[in-house]
Chains A and B, each alone.
Chain A
Amino acid sequence: MSCPDGSCFEPQKRIRALIMLGLMMLVFIMLSAFSFVSQHKQVTPDQVSFDKHQATDGKRVFQAYNCMGCHTVVGNGAYFAPDLTKEYANAGPAWITAFLGAAATWPTEGAVKSMLLMPHIAADSGVKTIEEYYAKYPGAKERVERRGGKPTYMPNLLFNGDEIPQLVAFMKYTSAMDTEGWPPEVKVKDLDKRIALAQGGHSAPLRSGSKPAAADASTAGAATAGGDIAERGKTISASLGCVACHAPGTTKLVGPGWGKLHGAQVKLADGSTVTADDAYLIESILKPNEKIVEGFPPSVMPPYEAIVSPDDAKAIVEYIKTLN
């Protein structure tokens, strides 16, 4: 076995093996060089931006929060949470922005709509209405319909500054990458069939929440118009996804908590102080960037005047009053 009589030319064999190894190293280096030279077309992060944010910055945010410690990207990471490579192509910038602002809750249709009100998000998604958005980003539609408003398993990470749009830019970059056909294309087309198969081949599809969980704000309002106005405000705020950022207590989430807010003295970023009365709260819903509360960055909350009527805003304020 181990060449006891020394007749098996062991030293020559060893030298040949080492030469072979050298050749293989050469092959590997050449393949590597060819992979990253400019002839090979692959998108690079400096070519991709979202609004004024660069994918290169987004990658740093992605690493700083150790996103790979739960998620995977190009399939590498922790297998605890979804792969994010094609997330942008699947759910689009409005859904991702709505989600990351308050990750502990699945965005409702109202929340996605309100993100589409932001000009840079609308411009980046290339659509105007929510219907067009759903057609272009089918993942957003499925998620809103099946899970909108429900709790997620992702913790609220309280991103600061521009981190959310930077992450969107990074995901836009990974979506644009050519990953050689991975993840494999899904060839079982019908969603109901797929869900039934996943649940062990039940013939009747058990689609949880197949009725849109996020009923449109105005419909929800109309349904309970005769009822308690504060109760109506509660329903509207839930369907719009307000509660994802505003806690019912005094806790600061993404925005200020609603508890003990009505009638309180609020210090603004410009140093002045106002009383949080009905008029102030309604203005803060419809045009939130008019008065910014101290300690909160501007332009985080979109203006809701396009999708919330003054009556609905009043109902929400009535609901806020009950939280005192």
Chain B
Amino acid sequence: MKIEYQTQRLSMRFFMLMLFLFVLQIIFGMIVGLQQVDPNLLVGKLNFNVARTEHINLGLLWILTGFIGTILFVGPALSRRELAHPWLIHVLFYALIAAVLWNVYAQGLAMKGVAGWWGGQAWFQEGLEYIEGGRIFDIVALIGFGILGFVLLRTFPSMKEWNEIHWGLAIGVVALAVVWLFGLFYVSRLDLQEYFRWFVVHYWVEGVWEVIHISLIGFLLVKMFDADVKSVGYAVFWGVILVWLSGLIGNAHHYFWIGTPEFWQFWGSLFSAFEPLPLIFCFWHIYLDAHQNNKPLKNAPAFYFMVGSVVLEQVGAGILGFTMTFALTNVWSHGTWITPAHGHLALFGTFGMLVIGAAYYAVPLLRGATDFDQRLGKLAFWLLFLGISGMALAFAWGGTVQMYVYRTLGLEWFGGDVFPALDAYKIFVPLFGFVTAIGCGVLVYDLVTIGRIGGRKQPEIVNRRKAQPTRGWSRPFSGFEAGIWLVLMWIFGFVITFGILSFNLSQVRIEGNPTVPYTMAAIGYPGLLLVTALFVWRFLASLESRIENTESK
């Protein structure tokens, strides 16, 4: 496939900027991870709160940068014409760099307690988790979303010609800006502030990003596998609707303990129990759509990351989210390391892997590298996948100990008993962070050099194995087998859920015996992550063997 529209090339700079920001985020992540082990590290120079804020903000920003790149790449192809107003995209690019640099600097002001209060608003930084940016950053970001939406809608054909992917992307980019508005005002009541903060955080991730995610996955499936547009459109529509039907009131799972009335516990527990449904649905569809024909898989890394995205969405967002979404489990897991276990897998897994996959799809095409060495990309995938899974496991086990020592026993944190109790798990955060960092390094090297350095080509070895019959681990994948894997994941998910629920037992709560929750966490989390890794391996092996066999014909 060739690049048909020259404005698609504008996406390249966003993908490269995305990689740069990813590296920065990982650097801050390593610092934060090491500070978990030694809280005195860099104290007074780069306090934990600042380093963590940079880590979170850069995480959101590189994913957004990747979204922009992907949308710019996809937009002209979807519309069958050049992007409208490409000069605006140049503006967007430099505004993005300026906004990122400003925000990285401004977050450091928190060490001196400077928020830039003026007219009742914090203009430099506002110290609210996930939306720490001050009004200056917020307004620049809003203008950026406006530009993106404007350009995309002006590029699209007339509405009559839209299919579900057009609708998904259009609603996604418009909602990106609309939801952002709820974070633009200072609220003095803590309960009301948290209420609106989750509008931005929850509805962005579970409403808007998810919609963009589904649409982009759909489009890439059409492009990579010649999947049927109607079938993908069906999946996109029902995926989006299910996300909203469950996620709209599902947001109530953030309103359990923030000072809002008790009835939210009922609504939040009920509706967020349905939140995994669209994820299961998408998971199932990527299986179906990827297996619709025997088209050889030309670009393995792109597909690796897309599978990673859909599977980790299922496991990180779907299952780990499910385990702590009920008032009776959340009362224990709320405000503990259980949350970052879910957060890392869900955010990086779902959205990070998607935009990396999109970059792997677009960058070789943009550079005209038809036959590039795919081994580094696959290596990067496995390193990132295992690194992030390991971090999730460290957080999850540490979080289980934390629920017991901090909540059940009511002991104190620093200098108290929670901090030393977590010692054994803390060390694994930077350790697996390091694995992730290596994966990031490989990824960046590969994406920067693809099609540039002396034409690294696919090694011949891939084709030499072609005569092998496909059986055993790489035999063709059936729907039945996919179902079995899914059920296995959910069985471990339920073990984890009941493990957290067991903190309510009088045996744990009154006698202080943690055997039941500890055992279930010891089985549940590694079981879930192991099944997930095996499933990804199995799925990819079956696809790889399909490439070999298709080529041998």
Contact = CB atoms under 8 A, between A and B. Distances in A.
Contact of B50 (A59, A69, A174, A188): A69
A271 interface: no
A199 interface: yes
B259 A178 contact: yes
Nearest to B340: A79
Nearest to B335: A75
Interface stretch (A39-47, A221-229, A254-262, A316-324): A39-47
A180 B265 contact: yes
Contacts of B126: 63
Interface string A23-63: 01101100110111000101011100000000010011111
A1 B288 contact: yes
A101 B261 CA distance: 36
A21 B247 CA distance: 10
A76 B417 CA distance: 21
A68 B129 contact: yes
A188 B234 CA distance: 54
B351 interface: no
Contacts of B255: 35
B379 interface: no
A60 B241 contact: no
A198 B249 contact: no
B44 interface: yes
Interface string B428-444: 00000000000000000
Interface stretch (A121-129, A155-163, A240-248, A297-305): A155-163
A194 B410 contact: yes
Interface string A78-102: 1111110000000000000000000
B190 A154 contact: no
Contact of B510 (A21, A28, A187, A197): A187
Interface stretch (A12-20, A230-238, A276-284, A307-315): A12-20
Given A64-B113, A79-B337, A34 B261 contact: yes
B370 interface: no
Contact of B414 (A36, A72, A153, A177): A153
B432 to A, nearest CB: 17
A182 B244 CA distance: 28
A143 interface: yes
A29 to B, nearest CB: 10
Given A155-B44, A198-B421, A70 B410 contact: no
A218 interface: no
A150 B257 CA distance: 33
B6 interface: no
Which of the listed residues A66, A67, A73, A160 has the most CB atoms from chain B within 10 Å of its own CB?
Answer: A66
A137 interface: no
A19 to B, nearest CB: 11
Contact of B335 (A10, A17, A67, A76): A76
A163 B256 CA distance: 30
A21 B188 contact: no
Contacts of A10: 234
Contacts of B264: 31, 35
B39 interface: yes
Scoring A14, A34, A35, A59 by chain B CB atoms within 10 A of each residue's CB, the highest score goes to: A35
A72 B110 contact: no
A172 interface: no
Contacts, number: 231
Interface residues of A, number: 82
A133 interface: no
Contact of A74 (B113, B190, B288): B190
B88 to A, nearest CB: 32
Given A65-B113, A195-B417, A155 B36 contact: no
Nearest to B339: A79
B257 A186 contact: no
B267 A31 contact: yes
Which of A25, A150, A152, A182 is most buried by chain B, counting CB atoms within 10 A of its CB?
A182
B113 A198 contact: no
B512 A181 contact: no
A188 B408 contact: yes
Interface stretch (B114-122, B143-151, B309-317, B531-539): B114-122
Given A36-B195, A44-B189, A74-B194, A81 B413 contact: yes
A3 interface: yes
Nearest to B510: A187
Contact of A78 (B44, B49, B122): B49
Nearest to B198: A76
B113 A61 contact: yes
B103 interface: no
A240 to B, nearest CB: 19
B334 A2 contact: no
Contacts of B39: 80, 153
B4 interface: no
Interface string B180-203: 000000001111101101000000
Interface in B402-438: 402, 404-405, 407-419, 421
Contacts of B117: 60, 64
A139 B410 CA distance: 11
A182 to B, nearest CB: 4
A64 B190 contact: no
Contact of A64 (B127, B252, B260, B509): B127
Contacts of A36: 191-192, 195
Contacts of A275: none
B257 A63 contact: no
Given A69-B52, A194-B411, A198-B417, A45 B122 contact: no
B510 A188 contact: yes
Contact of B190 (A17, A27, A174): A174
Contacts of A31: 252, 263-264, 267
Contacts of B174: none
B361 interface: no
A184 B332 contact: yes
B470 interface: no
B400 to A, nearest CB: 13
Contacts of A74: 190-191, 194, 257-259
B44 A59 contact: no
Interface of B: 35-36, 39-40, 43-44, 47-50, 52-53, 107, 110-111, 113-115, 117, 122, 125-129, 132, 188-192, 194-195, 197, 228, 230-231, 234-235, 237-238, 241, 244-245, 248-249, 251-252, 255-265, 267, 288, 331-332, 334-337, 339-340, 402, 404-405, 407-419, 421, 509-512, 514
Which 4 interchain pairs have the tightest Cβ spacing?
A: A69-B49, A186-B410, A75-B335, A182-B257
6 contacts: A66-B49, A66-B107, A69-B47, A80-B36, A157-B113, A195-B417
